Amino acid sequence: MSPARPPLSRYLARLGYGTRREAERLVATGQVTSARGAVLRESDGFSHDDVRVHGVELDPPAGSVVMLHKPVGYVCSTSDRPPLVYELLPPRFLRREPVMATVGRLDAETSGLLLVTDDGPLNHQLTSPKWHLPKCYEVTLATPLRGDEAELFATGTLLLSGETAPVRPAQLDVLAPHRARLTISEGRYHQVRRMFAAVGNHVTALHRAAFGPLQLHDLAPGSWRVLTTAEVAHLREALRAAKDAR
């Protein structure tokens, strides 16, 4: 048996539509309606997709995963110096219970695919080093590739500065003398930049093109969308496969 849905105002408060009292006021003053415009009261039954606040569809339901195309310059934080990635998302995302949190971080100078979710266990699995879900980056370099980087990265013997454990094997595909695509299965601090620094090169531009089975495709910089149920299921399948392959 599925759990009983909470009262309408509590449901709205959990989605970030104000405090419980503010959400109660929205309902009491007739600002919450069905898709057909019928005013919803506190005791009315409802489905997420049928509820409108000020005539606008609700934000994604609890447990959703959002894909954001992060532009260069934005910070993955809730309290750092702006601009923050949350400025590209509905302001209610930070008021949800639980909050819509970024899945890991991309540094300010890195663009690309960033996931955001209020599913805590899924977030933990996607960021935990135990799962090793592959992530693909497009890299632009200051100097031409030497030619031996792909073989070295694939050995799993590369040591990063200040560390004693080598990075896991990574796949490097050369696109041009100064450009490459690197697929890694870890998430160490500034890992891609430090891997190229370890072979005497410097990353001038970095873009995450894929996270597990997910790709940005035509999602414009600064834009976001909610992953479909099928995409989330595919992501979970990829997590299980990555864990089994350890």
pLDDT per 10-residue tile (average), the chain, 246 residues: 76 97 97 97 95 97 97 93 94 95 96 98 90 94 98 97 95 98 94 98 98 96 97 96 80
Q: Distance between CA 225 and CA 89 in Å, rounded?
A: 10
- What does the pLDDT read at residue 4? 67
Q: What DSSP designation does 220 have?
A: P
Q: Reply yes or no on whether 107 is catalytic.
A: yes
Catalytic: which of 50, 80, 107, 218? 107
Alpha carbon 18 to chain centroid, angstroms: 24
What's the confidence (pLDDT) of residue 129? Answer: 75
pTM, full prediction:
0.93
Predicted confidence at residue 1, as pLDDT, reads 41
User: Distance from CA of residue 131 to its chain's centroid?
Assistant: 16
Residue 242 has what pLDDT?
86
Distances (CA, A) of 160 to 61, 157, 164, 165, 199: 41, 10, 8, 8, 10
Radius of gyration of the chain (CA): 21
Write down the pLDDT at residue 180.
98
CA–CA distance, 172 with 150 (Å, rounded to integer): 5
> 10: burial class by Cβ within 10 Å (0-12, 13-18, 19+)?
middle
